[in-house]
Amino acid sequence: MPPSALDQLTRLNIVYPMLFKLTNRKSERITHCGVLEFVADEGKVYLPYWMMKYNLLLDEGESIQIESVSLPVATFSRFQPQSEDFLDITNPKAVLENGLRNFACLSTGDVIAIKYNQRVYEMCVLETKPGPAVSIIECDMNVEFAPPVGYKEPKPIKKSEEEPNQEDLSLDPLEFVAFKGEGNRLDGKKKKDVLHPKPTMLKGGVPRVIPDYNYKIGTVRFLRNTKAPLKENKEPIEEFKAFKGEGFSLRDKKSDKGN
């Protein structure tokens, strides 16, 4: 703003911080803002391009009306990102809080621009409390986000697709057995039946599983064992008794020899 505006404001004993209401009579659009410096040329004010384009629908060289106002302190605000790229930010609330330090006030329906990582993110102010225009200087304000423009909720995945049966993922847990094929005798006779040894588990007792080729980085899936729990054996366990078998003698009794 020009220095002459500062002279007039100091004579009016206005309330600090200095906040202003900007009105474009041609488009009947209104917004609110603060002031950075009083160094502009006489009869001119310098506004951010996004404020002229989205909020005031104003072209360069057109006239606007400026009024000094006093706004209530903000307690709540709700924002809507204008692009889905805003969802890629790790901590959006911290980014918004840091960006709002460059603003003095907010108006419902306005679009503000926030710079982060050499990019500009546009945010629409959907709601402000306790009024349609609020001051955000030294305030404790609660913030909420609405879904970005063009955002669609992902379709829920069926349980069968989300959590496959753990039994289906299991491979043969048997350990490698050498020479497990069928053998034949040289004389042509059939060999005797031999009991096959019980299969053994892999070293460590952990069965092999099929890797998830659809895994996405940053996601964690907990597979649940769908096998029914083993039934407890409720039969009474017989206590161990040493030398409980029947005894035999290696020689006959004396009475038997006499006969």
Please check whether residue 99 lies inside any domain of the structure.
yes
Question: What is the tens place of the pLDDT at every residue in 215-246?
Answer: 777 777 776 655 666 666 666 666 767 767 67
Q: Which domain holds residue 112?
A: 76-145
- Contact call for residues 82 and 149 (beta carbons, < 8 A): yes
Considering the domain architecture, whether residues 18 and 49 belong to the same structural domain is answered as: yes
Contacts for 165 with CB less than 8 Å, ≥ 6 apart: 226
Mean pLDDT, residues 84-113 taken together: 92
**Residue 174 lies inside a defined structural domain of this protein:** no
Is 80:146 a contact under the CB 8 Å cutoff?
yes
For CA atoms 107, 108, 109, 111, the dihedral sign is positive
Give the CATH number, domain containing residue 60: 2.40.40.50
Total domain count, the chain: 2
> pLDDT tens across 105-123, in order?
999 999 999 999 989 999 9
> Structure pTM?
0.57
**Closest by alpha carbon to 110, among 47, 62, 60?**
47
Region label for 179, one of left (φ > 0), alpha (ψ between -120 and 50) or beta (otherwise): left
Contacts of 34 (CB under 8 A, 6+ apart): 17, 18, 19, 20, 103, 104, 105, 137
Is 115 domain-assigned? yes
Measured in degrees and rounded to the nearest 5, phi and psi for residue 243 equal 55, 45
166 has pLDDT over 90:
no
Instruction: Identify the CA nearest to 65 among candidates 11, 113, 5, 109.
Output: 5
Please report whether residue 224 resides in a domain: no
